[in-house]
Amino acid sequence: MPIAIVGAGLSGCVIAHELADAGFQCEVFESRDHIGGNCHTQRDPDTGVMVHTYGPHIFHTDKADVWAYISRFLEMVPYQHRVKATVKGEVYSLPVNLHTINQFFHKAMRPDEARAFIQALAEPMENPQTFEQQALAFVGKDLYEAFFKGYTTKQWGMAPDQLPASILKRLPLRFNYDDSYFNHPWIAIPKEGYTPLFEKLLDHDNIHVHLNHPFTPAQAKDFEHVFYSGPLDAWFDYRHGRLLYRTLDFEKQILTDTQDYQGIAVMNYPDANIPYTRITEHKHFAPWEQDRHRGTVIYTEFSRHCEENDIPYYPVRLAQGQTQLEAYQTLARETEGVTFIGRLGTFQYLDMDVTIDQALKTVHTFIQQH
Ligand code: UDP
């Protein structure tokens, strides 16, 4: 019997590829009309800009084996990801670094002075649990309110004292002028976008792809095993209620009267009175091809609660009270013949490199056992 892979995103495609290489027959079921999940990219025909259809995806990793894996399929172009934030009409550098601190407090401190200055403002706490506690312990009230409170409330749809500290731990705090958004040694964008990765992963005699084809648990009996990357609660028909996901809306604009709208790929808008979280200008992800663009494409990003027919982007984990999630995790563990994978299937806020890493480990364990 073949193996079913539900979802042609990063987890599903890596797993299908590895299984196919090991001799398993794979049927990939994708409910949308394209592969690549939310990593899908497509060149805009009017401007020639490579658009990250579901918002910005920058590949970054510190895992040498994951970097080697993706580089087998794609030509990865080294990329420096920088992000700015517009706060109350002024533009600052992110992640919070010495430039941000000096500009915000109208000072010209050296690293040690800034460290001592922030230490005096910070509200130290042993083992912070919530996003807010972590932020106050990290940078103090003023920087927290300017850069994190509004953005986080808009992005997650709830107050930062309800959210886990782990979300903020994604971001560095630096007492030098390094403004690289990520700390990782490999930061890159694929030369022709991400879609070719999925095409290559799925291009195998042992893989058959079914687009526009939702998969229901009742179909599982026709397969030796199911790898499921859809929403965890959906598999169990929401029997413990709905888990919270955030979805994104993008207001898309194609501008032909300018070659450069904002001078950077991502501009964040942490102010609470601005309804969107950030604006992405996609051409800046591919600086090597900018001479060929005819204008520019921008996405203004709005986050909201994910309703039944929306595309889920972010699983919302809470600082406390995860009993509903735990109930689903127990069900998942007890479900024989199904492995839950990826951001939605495991209900985790995973970056692309961690997704690939987890998918490879999961599938190699499976292959060893079968
Ligand atoms: N964040 C924030 N202000 C910013 C950028 C990020 O408060 O200007 C917080 C916010 O809660 C966000 C989290 O940090 O969800 C992680 O940010 P990241 O840039 O990693 O988000 P992603 O690109 O994955 O949406």
Task: Place 320 in a pLDDT band, splitting at 50, 70 and 90.
Answer: confident
Active site residue 317: no
pTM for the predicted model, two decimal places? 0.97
pLDDT(265) > 90: yes
Strands (E), the chain: 3-6, 26-29, 41-43, 50-52, 59-61, 76-78, 83-87, 90-94, 186-190, 207-210, 225-228, 245-255, 266-268, 278-281, 296-305, 314-315, 338-340
From 151, 195, 160, 184, select the one nearest 301 (Cα to Cα). 151
Distance of CA 351 from the midpoint of ligand 1 (Å): 12
Task: Report which ligand 1 atom has the smallest distance to the Cα of 94.
Answer: 8
pLDDT(46) > 80: yes
From the candidates 65, 90, 170, 238, which is the catalytic residue?
Answer: 170
From 86, 103, 181, 164, select the one nearest 130 (Cα to Cα). 164
Q: Which domains does the chain have, with CATH numbers?
A: 3-81+186-245+309-369 (3.40.50.720), 97-170 (no CATH)
What would the mean pLDDT of 360-369 be, rounded to a whole number?
A: 98
Residues 6+ apart with CB under 8 A from 370: 24, 225
What would the mean pLDDT of 95-120 be, rounded to a whole number?
A: 98
ipTM, 2 decimals?
Answer: 0.98
Task: Place 301 in a pLDDT band, splitting at 50, 70 and 90.
Answer: very high
Task: Quote the pLDDT of residue 322.
Answer: 87
Task: For residue range 164-193, list pLDDT tens digits in order.
Answer: 999 999 899 999 999 999 999 999 999 999
Distance of CA 356 from the midpoint of ligand 1 (Å): 21
pLDDT(139) > 90: yes
For the chain, helix, strand, coil in percent to 5 are 35, 20, 40
Q: Tell me 108's DSSP state.
A: -
Distance of CA 104 from the midpoint of ligand 1 (Å): 19
What is the C-alpha to C-alpha distance for residues 270 and 103, in angstroms, rounded to an integer? Answer: 16
- Lining ligand 1 with CB less than 6 A are 85, 94, 147-148, 151-152, 155, 167-168, 170-171, 268, 270
Q: Which of 39, 86, 155, 314 to mutate to test the pocket of ligand 1 (most atoms within 8 A of CB)?
A: 155
Query: Residue 130 is encoded by which pair of tokens?
Result: 């919530």
Q: How far is CA 174 from CA 5, 96, 182, 200, in A?
A: 42, 6, 11, 39
From 263, 277, 350, select the one nearest 313 (Cα to Cα). 350
Higher pLDDT, 104 or 126: 104
pLDDT(321) > 80: no
